[in-house]
């Protein structure tokens, strides 16, 4: 395949990007999460060339994020629906949305998340379901899982050392940036 280094990588982030790294992928998933299912809905919404859309849809199906379903026999018509795997990308898109709102919306956000019942604006935060505490670089760290290879363990140890020294040496100027 294209990037040999990744096939050897067990890094789940790299593996995830293998699926949704291409530019349109996440936007298609975004629209699918919004309920779009048909070819021309996607095309109009994304303003994407039809051949590109075909390619991306095919790739997403091969990755198991979308399923093609026939909804009409005559004429034969298909719709593209999210699998569970695709739906599970929702938190990724939500955090991406929050990040974009925070950093690329000088005149205020144009899209916000709201509670369906109360209508109140929601503020998405990542927390540890076990302890309820907010996930942070200080309070959490990465550890090797059951399937970690020897190389991965080394890598994580290396990271840990890097982070330790980084944290102690650069803590000072963290606070002086606005």
Partner DNA sequence: CAGTATCCTGTCCGATACTG
Partner DNA sequence: CAGTATCGGACAGGATACTG
Task: Report if residue 30 touches DNA, rule: CB under 7 A.
Answer: no
Q: Which does 139 bind (CB under 5 to 8 A by kind): a copy of itself, DNA, none?
A: a copy of itself
Task: Report if residue 76 touches a copy of itself, rule: CB under 8 A.
Answer: no
**DSSP type of residue 135:** P
| Interface characters, 78-97, with DNA (x: CB under 7 A) | xxx-----------------
* Long-range contacts, stretch 5-12, CB < 8 angstroms, 24+ apart: 10/147, 10/148, 10/149, 10/152, 11/152
Q: Which does 126 bind (CB under 5 to 8 A by kind): DNA, a copy of itself, none?
A: a copy of itself
Quick one: 52 or 139, whose CB is closer to DNA? 52
Q: Please state the closest distance from residue 118 (CB atom) to DNA, in A.
A: 36
Output the CA–CA distances (angstroms, integers) from residue 8 to 3, 11, 22, 62, in the order listed.
Answer: 9, 9, 20, 20
Q: Please state the closest distance from residue 155 (CB atom) to DNA, in A.
A: 18
CA 67, distance to chain mean position in Å, is 19
Q: Sign of torsion, CA 1 12 14 169? A: negative
Distance from C-alpha of 36 to C-alpha of 32, rounded to nearest angstrom: 5
Note the residues at the interface with DNA (CB under 7 A). Answer: 2-3, 5, 22-24, 38-41, 48-52, 54-56, 75, 77-80
């Amino acid at each position: 395949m294209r990037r040999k280094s990744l096939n050897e990588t067990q890094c789940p982030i790299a593996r995830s990007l293998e699926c949704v790294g291409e530019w349109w992928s996440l936007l298609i998933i975004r629209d699918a999460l919004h309920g779009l299912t048909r070819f021309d809905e996607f095309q109009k919404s994304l303003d994407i060339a039809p051949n590109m859309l075909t390619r991306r849809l095919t790739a997403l199906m091969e990755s198991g994020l979308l399923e093609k379903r026939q909804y009409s026999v005559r004429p034969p018509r298909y719709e593209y629906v999210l699998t569970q795997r695709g739906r599970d990308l929702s938190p990724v898109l939500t955090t991406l949305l929050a990040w974009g709102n925070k950093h690329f919306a000088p005149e205020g956000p144009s899209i916000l998340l709201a509670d369906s019942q109360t209508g109140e604006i929601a503020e998405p935060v990542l927390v540890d379901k076990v302890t309820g505490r907010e996930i942070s670089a200080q309070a959490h760290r990465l550890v090797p899982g059951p399937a970690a290879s020897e190389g991965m363990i080394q890598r994580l140890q290396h990271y840990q050392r890097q982070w330790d020294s980084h944290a102690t040496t650069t803590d000072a100027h963290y606070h002086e940036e606005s």
